[in-house]
Amino acid sequence: MKTVDLFQFNASTNIPATLQRTTMDIVEVCNSVFRPFFRNVANRVQEEALNSGCTHIVEMGAGNAPITRRLLESSEGSLTFTVCDLMPDEELYARLEKEHPKRVQGLTQAVDFTIPRQWPPQTLLVLVACFHHVPVAERAAAFETLTNSADRVMLFSPVKKTLFCMFAAVGILVPGLLVPLIYIHRPARLRRMFWCWLLPIAPLIMLWDGVGGCVRQWTTAEWKAVEQNQNLPRSILVESTPNSQTVIC
Ligand SMILES: C[S@@+](CC[C@H](N)C(=O)[O-])C[C@H]1O[C@@H](n2cnc3c(N)ncnc32)[C@H](O)[C@@H]1O
């Protein structure tokens, strides 16, 4: 199956911030209420940090920082965190910094993970559900840049390029429509009701991005080709389940 650069709303800086935040809420419900994907990712990151000797985690393309939030709750003070995104959620970052002084820093300027940037030693970069946004033609070079910028890089995807995942992605409409109810006790409930019920654009965007996200993924064989053709500092390990993929370098 060919990898196609289908347009993704979540990589667009042109949608309103309130709509963007609502799509992040839907992603969160899918990957925490409907399946324990974020919990599993957080556990895997913690394990890899321990094994690789990394003490600082940078969550890039963080959205509402699902992995940092979970690790802040579950890990000891030995791990510190930076959260950043092309469209930073400044309000959330400020809250995390206030609740966990000295352990977390939110970068309020846009950080594009395709642009070279040198991170301090013992840094582990974590990208969840976002690397597939990089256009196919630029992706291998972007991965080389990332892996040369830190001691360890982990890419997590909650979907794969398979027909099974594409069909399953249609199911995102269910959490998309339920999110205002599921998060009824959380702040910004009117925002969610507006974008999911009154003008239900958020579930439709997630439907498009969900199916498109599958089409944009790379298979294990395609990742192995990257390993052969690019100048990477370490070898690539690809871990796979029927509906998720982890790439570690
Ligand atoms: C589907 S969301 C995933 C957010 C979060 N990682 C999660 O799993 O909930 C994709 C995120 O990637 C970010 N993103 C897309 N392209 C990016 C880039 N080149 N640099 C940094 N962030 C990017 C978007 O702003 C968006 O927040």
User: How far apart are the C-alpha atoms of 142 and 136, rounded to whole Å?
Assistant: 10
Task: State yes or no: pLDDT of 229 exceeds 90.
Answer: yes
pLDDT at position 131: 95
Domain presence at residue 1: no
pLDDT band at residue 107 under the 50/70/90 scheme: very high
Q: Is the C-beta atom of 130 inside 6 A of ligand 1?
A: yes
Q: Is the C-beta atom of 58 inside 6 A of ligand 1?
A: no
pLDDT band at residue 23 under the 50/70/90 scheme: very high
Domain presence at residue 189: yes
Domain presence at residue 4: no
User: Do 209 and 172 touch, CB atoms closer than 8 A?
Assistant: no
pLDDT, the chain, mean: 94
What integer is the mean pLDDT of 194-219? 95
**The domain that contains 45 carries what CATH number?**
3.40.50.150
Task: State yes or no: pLDDT of 8 exceeds 90.
Answer: no
Task: State yes or no: pLDDT of 18 exceeds 80.
Answer: yes
Domain presence at residue 30: yes
Domain presence at residue 24: yes
DSSP H or E segment with residue 82: strand 80-83
Distance 133 CA to ligand 1 centre (A): 8
Cα 184 versus chain centre, distance:
24
Q: How many domains does the structure of the chain reveal?
A: 1
Domain presence at residue 70: yes
Q: How far is CA 129 from CA 24, 40, 67, 181, 236, in A?
A: 11, 14, 11, 24, 18
Task: State yes or no: pLDDT of 7 exceeds 80.
Answer: no
Domain presence at residue 196: yes
What is the chain's Cα-based Rg? 17
pLDDT at position 106: 98
pLDDT at position 155: 98
pLDDT band at residue 228 under the 50/70/90 scheme: very high
CB within 8 A of 157, min separation 6: which ones? 128, 129, 131, 132, 213, 217, 244, 245, 246
Task: State yes or no: pLDDT of 78 exceeds 90.
Answer: no
Distance 157 CA to ligand 1 centre (A): 12
Distance 77 CA to ligand 1 centre (A): 26
What integer is the mean pLDDT of 5-10? 72
pLDDT at position 117: 93
Nearest CA to ligand 1 atom 22: 61
Task: State yes or no: pLDDT of 98 exceeds 70.
Answer: yes
pLDDT band at residue 233 under the 50/70/90 scheme: very high
* Residues facing 248 on adjacent strands: 154, 237
Question: Please, what sign has the CA dihedral across residues 156, 96, 149, 142?
Answer: positive
- The C-alpha torsion from 134 through 220 and 153 to 65, rounded to 10°, is 60
Block residue for tokens 């974020």: 38
Task: Give the domain range for residue 160.
Answer: 9-248
Nearest CA to ligand 1 atom 13: 61
Domain presence at residue 96: yes
* Mutational test site, ligand 1, from 33, 45, 85, 155, max ligand atoms within 8 Å of CB: 85
Nearest CA to ligand 1 atom 10: 130
Nearest CA to ligand 1 atom 16: 11
